Amino acid sequence: MKTIFKAMFLSCSIGLSASATYAQNKVVIDDEASNGIVMVTIDKAGDEIVRIMNESQLPYIHDPQAPRFLLMDKQGKFALGIGGYVRATGEYDFGGIVDNIDFIPADIPASSKIRNQFQMDASTATIFLKLVGHTRLLGDFVVYTAGNFRGGGKTFQLRNAYMSFRNITVGYNYGGFMDLGALPSTIDFQGPNGAAFYRATQLAYTYKGLKNFRFNASIEAPAVDGTTNNQLSIAQQRMPDFTAYAQYGWNSNSHLRVGGIIRSMTYTSTESDKASSVTGYGVQASTTFSLGKKWQVFGQANYGKGIGQYLNDISNLNVDIVPNPEKDGKMQALPMLGWYAGLQYNICPRVFLSSTYSMSRLYSENGYPNDTPSSYRYGQYFVANAFWNVTPNMQVGAEYLRGWRTNFDDSTSHANRINLLVQYSF
C-alpha cells in the first residue's frame, strides 16, 4: 500500500513537470512548406489545429481525449485524428445484484435467489475519427465519428456522427436536453440514474456572441418508448423534439445552465380512426463550479412529463407515454423527476476522488399503475470512487456503488457493486 501511495505522489509530481515541458517544446509546422500529408503527434501540430482540437473536446469522462497522432497538411490547416481507448472493467455485485452490465437501479430484481455476481466488460472500448480545420466559408469546422462495441453480440455500434461549423451542428450527437459539463466522473458507464443523457440526430445552433453566455436551440429526431395494450400502439412520429438552453459561465470550470424540451408523441387507438398525440415537456437546471483549487461541485435537476426517454433510469421502463386507466383508448404522459448532486476532490492533477448521490422518480396520475403495483416508483443511486491518471494516456480507478429500487407497493430491493477500471487512450 505504501508503494502505491509513493507511486501516486511521484505521478503527481511528474504530471506538473510534464505540463511545463509540453508548453516549452511545442513545434509549429512551417506554413511555407510544400504541399503534402505528414503524420505528427498532437504536440507538434500547428497552433490553429491544437486550438480547434481543444475547443471541440467534449467535457465528458467517457469521451475520448484528443487524438495522439494526426494526419495533416504541411500548412497545418487541416488535420485528421485517429484515436480512442481500450477500456476494461471488473465488476462484483454483493448483497443484491443489478441485472445489467451498467449499474441501473431500475434493473434490480424484486426478488432473486442470486445475491452475488461477477462480470467483466470491454465493450465500451471506443474508436473515433476527427477531422478539424479552418476555412473562410466554414470557419472552424469539425467532422467527428465514434463508436464502441455495445451493439448486439458486442458488435461495433455508432455513438456519434456529426459535423460542426460556424456554431451549427448537424448529425447524430448528444442531445440538447442535457449538460455534459455537469456530469460527475464514474466508472459505471451509464452514470447517475437521475441524470439526463441521450443522443439524437439533430440540427442545432449555438450562439456565443455575448460574453460569458451561451445559447443553444435544436431540432431533434423523436424517439418514443411507451407501454401499450391491445387497444393502443405507438405510431410513426409527426413532429421533432425542440430543445433550448441558456448557460452562464464565469470561468473554465464553472457554469450554470437552464434548459427545456417540448415534444409531441403520436399513438393510435382502436377507439378512433385518427391518430392522436400527447404533449410532453421538460425543464432542467444544472451546474458545476469550483470551490478553491481542490473541490469541484456537480448538480442537475430535471422535471417534466413524457421525458422518460432522456433520464438514465427511467429510460429503461418504456414510460414516455402509457395507457390512461380512466379513459379507454387514451394515453397519457406521466410526471417524472431526476436529480443528482456530486462533489470531487482533486488531490493533485493526476489523482482525484468523487462521490455522487442521485434519484429518479416516476409519479402516478389518473390511477396509473392501476393493476401493476409492483412497477417502478423511484430509484436511488450512490457512488464513491477514486481515479489515478498513471500516465497521460493510462487511467486506473476503483468505485463503490449502492442502488435501491422502490415500487408503487412500497417494496424495496437493493444492490451493491465494486468496479475496477483500466483504460489506455491512443
Q: Are 264 and 273 in contact (CB under 8 A)?
A: no
419 and 90 Cβ atoms separated by less than 8 Å? yes
Task: Give bridge partners of residue 336 from the DSSP assignment.
Answer: 304, 362
Give Cα separations from 363 to 255, 304, 308, 338 (angstroms).
30, 10, 11, 11
- The structure's pTM equals 0.88
Alpha helix segments (H runs only) across 279-350 = none
Residues 6 or more apart in contact with residue 283 via CB below 8 angstroms: 258, 259, 260, 302, 303, 304
Return the pLDDT at 109.
Answer: 94
Q: Which of the 8 DSSP states describes residue 321?
A: B
Q: How is residue 178 annotated by DSSP?
A: S
Strands 157-165 and 168-174: antiparallel
Q: What is the pLDDT of residue 75?
A: 75
pLDDT at 72: 84
Backbone phi, then psi, for 14, in 5-degree steps? -65, -40
| Amino acid code (one letter) for 321 | I
Given a contact cutoff of 8 angstroms between Cβ atoms, the answer to whether 160 and 176 are in contact is no
User: Structural domain tally of the chain?
Assistant: 1
Cα separation of 71 and 82, whole Å? 8
- Euclidean distance between CA atoms 143 and 157, whole angstroms: 18
CA distances from 382 to 301, 316, 342 (A): 16, 19, 10
Instruction: For residue 369, say if its preceding peptide bond is cis, omega within 30 degrees of 0.
Output: yes
pLDDT at 370: 76
- Residues 272 and 287: beta-carbon distance below 8 Å: no
Residue 327 corresponds to which amino acid? K
**Rounded to whole angstroms, what are the CA distances from 351 to 24, 28, 245, 251, 342?**
24, 31, 33, 22, 17
Check residue 27 and give its pLDDT. 41
380 close to 407: Cβ distance less than 8 angstroms: no
Q: Which residues of 111-147 are buried (b: 16+ CB within 10 A; e: fewer)?
A: eeeeeebeeebebbbbbbbbbbbeeeeeebbbbbbbb
- CA–CA distance, 7 with 373 (Å, rounded to integer): 53
pLDDT at 313: 95
Cα angle 237-239-241, degrees, rounded to a multiple of 5 = 105
**Nine-digit cell string for 179:** 449538460
pLDDT, position 236: 93
Closest among 90, 136, 138 to 117, alpha carbons compared: 90
Amino acid making up residue 402: R
For every one of its 426 residues, what pLDDT tens digit does the chain have, with 9 covering 90 and above?
555 555 555 555 544 444 433 333 444 444 444 566 777 777 777 788 888 888 888 889 999 988 888 888 877 788 999 999 999 999 999 999 999 999 999 999 988 889 999 999 999 999 999 999 988 888 999 999 999 999 888 899 999 999 999 999 999 999 999 999 999 999 999 999 999 999 999 999 999 999 999 999 999 999 999 999 989 999 999 999 999 999 999 998 999 999 999 999 999 999 888 999 999 999 999 999 999 999 999 999 999 999 999 999 999 999 999 999 989 899 999 999 999 999 999 999 999 999 999 999 999 989 888 777 889 999 999 999 999 999 999 999 999 999 999 999 999 999 999 999 999 999
CATH number at residue 329: 2.40.160.10
Q: Residue 191 and residue 27: Cα distance in Å, rounded?
A: 39
| Residue 41: count of CB within 10 angstroms of its CB | 11
Three-class SS state of 51:
helix
Q: Domain range for residue 96?
A: 2-425
Q: What are the start-end ranges of the H helices in 217-367?
A: none
